[in-house]
């Protein structure tokens, strides 16, 4: 949520900052800005709307210099206006700052500063921080100490980069609760909230931890805590490549990522399935062998799509591993009194590894004694580092705001964890073999499901004028209904609701009429006959039924208005296939409605505020 880029070195900063912002735009895109320093003067450029508008501005009026900071915003405090766009500059015009996160005590600090005569320009909480730094700097004349003192005074979360006219070759960056990565080049440094903005320049990076601060300049990198205690940082190598962040001929990242799924599912399973297909090897779980063996309960949590994956995980853990499992919205977990019994395994699911609510939930359950495991895609992300053990998805960066390939890889990893836990208990070799053999075949079957694309596109053209849709599923496909509804909401702004199919008759059935497409997920599993009965109920009320069904199912063709067939598989794995046509349906409906698929309004890829 919001993207930060900073550069100091010998190259033209403006270009590097702008290219970085373009790569970060999926994190927030309602306004953007940059400031460079040239001959002691700030060159400040800001635009409301997309980064392209900033691009147009700097094409005419370039920001010169070899040092600068930039930001793309997802508004929290204050509308997406030019005044509210970052970078913010202090009253005296000497200190500039970009900020991700939220300053919770901004009102009291603002009143204090206003009483001291400081004049504010924006409505943002972020400006309070730069004004506070500027105010302290006026008093002390020591920039670094002023940044430290200001950061001690603020409550909330931040990832910041500070540039000061009086220190024309130095950037100061610090974090608490909002990610920052330092890229190490030849006599140059990059700072970003996200590896995607750095990878074009260097693969050598340092991840800042909470409460750390770095000075980047001619003397190299000095890392300390915010309280000035020295810290040792190690250099990591980025695993992503620039190519992975490009469109490579696809119209949108979302479509590209939908099509990447056969490969991403192969990658997520690579080296993890035993050749005899009776067990899995999850290297990332070796740190919690004891906890896995003693696990009495599991608690799965995440937000958005990751929460839907958790709901499917609940079926898998209970059925394959016989472990009582509960699922929580990460955002709700910490506001209850979560009772963590001895032997609880807490599994945090997050594509980005930075979602603030999921991270807060990790910290909460850790404090209460749970063993924590992360199912995360972004290597080196905060959740990956703060969980005691973890399994990376290894699917490359996911850039489309609507999650697709991360969802299916999360499901695949959850199947592997459930089998691993099951094999330590009562899951027989034969049953494990059947599941894992089938899991091996899933990427090919996903490839086959993707051949539905043209059919789905035609169907979307037929349906996308309708504003309200229902998605129904049972058992393990109930969360798929939730995910299908979320996908179409996110990218096409069609209102959709996902329900357990049987719940429809307890209220939502009142809405069904010929103008309400009803998407029913109806693979041939033990719920099949009941789902057919629900289809009949919709038909009797003139609803339009779009069924997602198993290839070769001729019965359903008689009942549904449209059928999208996916290959047969065992019921536990069917979400990996039934979700594919739903992703395509959301994508094509959005394109046909003229939506900006990769940058849907009001959303952000990585939500680092609570
Ligand atoms: C945002 C994204 C969703 C995502 C959710 C959780 O809302 O728009 O697509 O599912 O965050 O993100 P995470 O990175 O934790 O999986």
Q: State pLDDT tens for residues 561-592.
A: 999 999 999 999 999 999 999 999 999 999 99
Atom 5 of ligand 1, nearest CA residue: 304
Can you tell me which atom of ligand 1 is nearest the CA of 302?
Answer: 15
CB 229 within 8 A of CB 242: no
154-to-74, 175, 360, 452, 584 alpha-carbon distances in Å: 21, 12, 18, 53, 45
CB of 192 within 6 A of ligand 1: the answer is no
To the nearest 10°, the Cα dihedral for 452, 458, 461, 467? -40
Closest CA to 589 of 470, 481, 462: 462
Percent of the chain with pLDDT over 70: 99
How far is ligand 1, taken at its centre, from the CA of residue 351, in Å?
A: 7
Strand pairing class (517-522; 544-550): parallel
CB of 605 within 6 A of ligand 1: the answer is yes
How far is ligand 1, taken at its centre, from the CA of residue 71, in Å?
A: 20
Q: What is the DSSP string of 47-67?
A: EES-HHHHHHHHHHSPPPSSE
Strand blocks (E) in 322-463: 325-329, 344-350, 371-376, 389-392
pLDDT at 480: 98
Residue 256 annotated among the catalytic residues of the structure: no
CB of 377 within 6 A of ligand 1: the answer is no
**Cis bond before residue 87 (omega within 30° of 0):** yes
How far is ligand 1, taken at its centre, from the CA of residue 604, in Å?
A: 8
Distance CA 187, CA 220 (A): 8
The region of weakest confidence among 85-99, 397-411, 507-521 is: 507-521
Cβ count within 10 A of residue 550: 19
Q: Which two tokens stand for residue 127?
A: 């400006």
pLDDT at 600: 83
265-to-272, 275, 374, 413, 521 alpha-carbon distances in Å: 12, 17, 18, 9, 22
CB of 401 within 6 A of ligand 1: the answer is yes
How far is ligand 1, taken at its centre, from the CA of residue 306, in Å?
A: 7
**Conformation bin of residue 183: beta by default, left when phi > 0, alpha when psi is -120 to 50:** beta
Q: State pLDDT tens for residues 199-246.
A: 999 999 999 999 999 999 999 999 999 999 999 999 999 988 888 888
Closest CA to 80 of 46, 55, 103: 46
Atom 4 of ligand 1, nearest CA residue: 304
Q: State pLDDT tens for residues 442-453.
A: 999 999 999 999
Percent of the chain with pLDDT over 90: 82
User: In whole angstroms, how large is the CA radius of gyration of the chain?
Assistant: 25
Atom 7 of ligand 1, nearest CA residue: 304
pLDDT at 337: 84
**Confidence band for 1, pLDDT divided at 50, 70 and 90:** low
Q: What is the DSSP letter of 156?
A: B
CB of 344 within 6 A of ligand 1: the answer is no
Atom 15 of ligand 1, nearest CA residue: 350
Is pLDDT larger for residue 116 or for residue 278? 116
Residues 6+ apart with CB under 8 A from 536: 559
Length of the chain: 610
CB 75 within 8 A of CB 134: no
Q: What is the DSSP letter of 383?
A: H
How far is ligand 1, taken at its centre, from the CA of residue 106, in Å?
A: 27
Cβ count within 10 A of residue 489: 18
Q: State pLDDT tens for residues 86-115.
A: 999 999 999 999 999 889 999 999 999 999
Q: State pLDDT tens for residues 296-333.
A: 999 999 999 999 999 999 999 999 999 999 999 999 99
3-state secondary structure of 560: coil
Residue 605 annotated among the catalytic residues of the structure: yes
Q: Is the pLDDT of residue 510 over 90?
A: no
pLDDT at 428: 95
pLDDT at 508: 84
Q: Is the pLDDT of residue 25 over 80?
A: no
Distance CA 31, CA 80 (A): 6
Q: Is the pLDDT of residue 75 over 80?
A: no
Cβ count within 10 A of residue 552: 9
The single residue listed with the structure tokens 């330092």 is 182
Q: What is the DSSP letter of 120?
A: P
**Conformation bin of residue 518: beta by default, left when phi > 0, alpha when psi is -120 to 50:** beta
- Average pLDDT, rounded, for the chain: 94
pLDDT at 605: 72
Cβ count within 10 A of residue 217: 18
Phi, psi values for residue 349, rounded to 5° = -115, 125
How far is ligand 1, taken at its centre, from the CA of residue 606, in Å?
A: 6
| Residues in a beta bridge with 258 | none
Q: State pLDDT tens for residues 48-60.
A: 988 999 999 999 9
Q: Which two tokens stand for residue 6?
A: 């900073």
CB 66 within 8 A of CB 9: yes
Is pLDDT larger for residue 173 or for residue 288? 173
Distance CA 447, CA 266 (A): 11
Atom 3 of ligand 1, nearest CA residue: 304
Q: Is the pLDDT of residue 421 over 70?
A: yes
pLDDT at 28: 66
Closest CA to 314 of 333, 300, 297: 300
Tally the C-alpha atoms within 13 A of residue 440's C-alpha that lie toward its C-beta: 15
**HEC assignment per residue over 119-170:** CCCCCCHHHHHHHHHHHHHHHHCCHHHHHHHHHHHCCECEEEEEEECCCCCC
Distance CA 136, CA 141 (A): 8
CB of 350 within 6 A of ligand 1: the answer is yes
Residues 6+ apart with CB under 8 A from 506: none
Q: State pLDDT tens for residues 108-161.
A: 999 999 999 999 999 999 999 999 999 999 999 999 999 999 999 999 999 999
**Confidence band for 609, pLDDT divided at 50, 70 and 90:** low
252-to-400, 446, 597 alpha-carbon distances in Å: 8, 19, 7
CB 362 within 8 A of CB 388: no
The region of weakest confidence among 34-38, 336-340, 490-494 is: 336-340
CB 412 within 8 A of CB 542: no
CB of 254 within 6 A of ligand 1: the answer is no
319-to-66, 312, 564 alpha-carbon distances in Å: 59, 11, 28
CB of 384 within 6 A of ligand 1: the answer is no
Strand pairing class (495-500; 67-73): unpaired
pLDDT at 76: 72
Q: What is the DSSP letter of 91?
A: T
């Amino acid at each position: 949520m919001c993207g930060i880029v900073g550069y100091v070195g010998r190259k033209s900063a403006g270009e590097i900052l702008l290219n970085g912002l373009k790569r970060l735009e999926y994190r927030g895109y309602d306004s953007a800005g940059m400031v460079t320093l040239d001959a002691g003067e700030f060159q400040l450029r800001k635009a409301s709307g997309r980064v392209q508008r900033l691009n147009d501005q700097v094409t005419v009026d370039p920001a010169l210099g070899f040092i600068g900071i930039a930001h793309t915003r997802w508004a929290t405090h204050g509308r997406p206006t030019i005044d509210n766009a970052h970078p913010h500059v202090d009253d005296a015009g000497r200190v500039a700052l970009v900020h991700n996160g939220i300053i919770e005590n901004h009102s009291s600090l603002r009143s204090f500063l206003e009483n001291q005569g400081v004049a504010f320009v924006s409505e943002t909480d972020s400006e309070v921080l730069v004004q506070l730094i500027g105010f302290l700097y006026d008093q002390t004349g020591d920039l670094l100490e002023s940044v430290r003192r200001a950061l001690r005074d603020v409550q909330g979360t931040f990832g910041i980069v500070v540039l000061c006219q009086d220190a024309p070759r130095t950037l100061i960056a610090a974090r608490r609760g909002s990610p920052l990565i330092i890229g190490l080049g030849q006599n140059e440094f990059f700072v970003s909230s996200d590896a995607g903005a750095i990878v074009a320049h260097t693969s050598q990076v340092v991840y800042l931890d909470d409460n750390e601060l770095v000075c980047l300049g001619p003397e190299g990198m000095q890392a300390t805590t915010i309280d000035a205690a020295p810290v040792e940082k190690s250099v990591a190598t980025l695993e992503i490549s620039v190519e992975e962040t490009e469109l490579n001929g696809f119209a949108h990242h979302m479509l590209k990522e939908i099509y990447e799924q056969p490969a991403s599912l192969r990658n997520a399973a690579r080296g993890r399935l035993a050749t005899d297909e009776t067990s899995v090897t999850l290297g990332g779980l070796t740190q919690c062998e004891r906890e896995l063996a003693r696990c009495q309960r599991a608690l799965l949590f995440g937000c958005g799509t990751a929460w839907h994956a958790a709901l499917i995980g609940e079926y898998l853990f209970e059925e394959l591993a016989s472990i009582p499992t509960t699922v929580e919205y990460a955002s709700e977990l910490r506001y209850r009194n979560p009772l963590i019994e001895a032997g609880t395994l807490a599994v945090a699911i997050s594509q980005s590894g930075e979602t603030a609510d999921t991270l807060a939930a990790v910290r909460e359950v850790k404090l209460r004694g749970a063993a924590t495991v992360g199912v995360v895609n972004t290597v080196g992300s905060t959740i990956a580092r703060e969980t005691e053990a973890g399994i990376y998805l290894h699917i490359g960066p996911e850039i489309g705001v609507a999650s697709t390939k991360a969802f299916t890889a999360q499901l695949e990893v959850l199947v592997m964890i459930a089998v691993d836990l099951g094999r330590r208990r009562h899951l027989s070799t034969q049953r494990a073999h059947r599941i894992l053999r089938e899991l091996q075949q899933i990427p090919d079957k996903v490839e086959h499901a993707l051949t539905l694309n043209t059919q789905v596109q035609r169907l979307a053209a037929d349906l996308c004028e309708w504003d309200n849709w229902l998605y129904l599923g049972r058992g393990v496909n109930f969360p798929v209904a939730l995910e299908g509804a979320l996908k179409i909401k996110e990218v096409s702004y069609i209102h959709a609701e996902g329900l357990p199919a049987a719940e429809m008759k307890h209220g939502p059935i009142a809405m069904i009429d010929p103008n309400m497409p009803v998407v029913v997920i109806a693979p041939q599993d033990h719920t099949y006959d009941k789902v057919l009965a629900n289809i009949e109920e919709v038909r009797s009320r003139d609803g339009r039924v779009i069924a997602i069904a198993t290839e070769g199912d001729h019965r359903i063709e008689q009942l549904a208005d449209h059928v999208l067939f996916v290959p047969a598989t065992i019921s536990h794995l069917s979400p990996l296939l039934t979700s594919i046509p739903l992703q395509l349906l959301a994508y094509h409906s959005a394109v046909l409605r003229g939506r900006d698929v990769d940058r849907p309004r009001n959303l952000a890829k990585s939500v680092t505020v609570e």
